[in-house]
């Protein structure tokens, strides 16, 4: 281990070093960032479609055909594709009343247990979401889809495919976090890599100041 760097996001920090775990963490982060970017683009495109539909209705009496269908198709991209990135950054909503009082191995044991339970849930959801996609996809059907949207007949399988893919990525993220918390528990580490570490208000302010100094 040659040194530790810090990647900050919100109230959490993720430490980085030269270990295999940290390299895998950074590699998966690249994929998670792409997924989060796609989610953001979907939000922007939905805004463009809303302007198009409202403007067309107001000025040309021709709103965008199938606007609701496009919204339904975009929702999985918006709601699901960023979950692994958020998990990596420690951004999901959670209750810290109890776990926030723990330190050292007790904290890592509690974090490890919670991540293992989440992983079991995500694996079950991934299996169910894939089965849901599989019922919709058919290479022999028009547009490879057994079902479509009501208004303009958009194929539904692409939106259904997004869900198990995103769930698979967060499952990989959870596996890395199990490794990170397990390593911290066994070795008694104070600040492990590849897992989100909750920062105090003072630490957040210092990290933000360092980031601003680095941009100057």
213 assigned to some structural domain: no
Q: Is residue 214 part of a domain?
A: no
CA distance between the termini of the chain: 29
Q: What's the Cα-to-Cα distance from 32 to each of 45, 141, 171, rounded to whole Å?
A: 20, 32, 12
- Examine residue 212 and state whether it is found in any structural domain, yes or no: no
Asked if the structure places residue 211 within a domain, the reply is no
* 182, part of any domain: yes
| 216 domain residue, yes or no | no
Tens-of-pLDDT digits for all 216 residues of the chain?
445 665 655 556 899 999 999 999 999 999 999 999 999 999 999 999 999 999 999 898 888 999 999 999 999 999 999 999 999 999 888 777 777 788 999 999 999 999 999 999 999 999 999 999 999 999 888 888 888 998 899 999 999 999 999 999 999 999 999 999 999 999 999 999 999 987 665 666 676 666 666 655
Could you give the number of structural domains in the chain?
1
Q: Which domain holds residue 94?
A: 5-206
């Amino acid at each position: 281990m040659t040194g530790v760097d810090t990647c900050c996001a919100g109230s959490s920090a993720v430490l980085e070093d030269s270990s295999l775990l940290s390299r895998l963490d950074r590699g998966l982060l690249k994929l998670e960032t792409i997924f989060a970017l796609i989610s953001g683009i979907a939000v922007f495109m939905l805004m463009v479609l809303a302007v198009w539909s409202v403007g067309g209705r107001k000025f040309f009496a021709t709103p965008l055909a199938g606007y609701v269908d496009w919204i339904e198709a975009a929702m999985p991209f918006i709601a699901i594709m960023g979950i692994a990135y958020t998990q990596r950054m420690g951004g999901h909503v959670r209750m810290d009343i109890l776990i926030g009082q723990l330190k050292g191995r007790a904290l890592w044991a509690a974090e490890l247990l919670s991540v293992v339970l989440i992983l079991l849930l995500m694996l079950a959801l991934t299996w169910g979401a894939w089965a849901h996609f599989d019922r919709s996809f058919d290479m022999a059907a028009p547009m490879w889809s057994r079902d479509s949207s009501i208004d303009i007949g958009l194929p539904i399988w692409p939106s259904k495919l997004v869900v198990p893919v995103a769930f698979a990525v967060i499952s990989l993220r959870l596996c890395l976090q199990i490794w990170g918390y397990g390593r911290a528990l066994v070795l008694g580490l104070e600040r492990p890599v590849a897992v989100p570490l909750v920062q105090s208000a003072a630490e957040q302010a210092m990290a933000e100041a360092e980031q601003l100094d680095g941009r100057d």
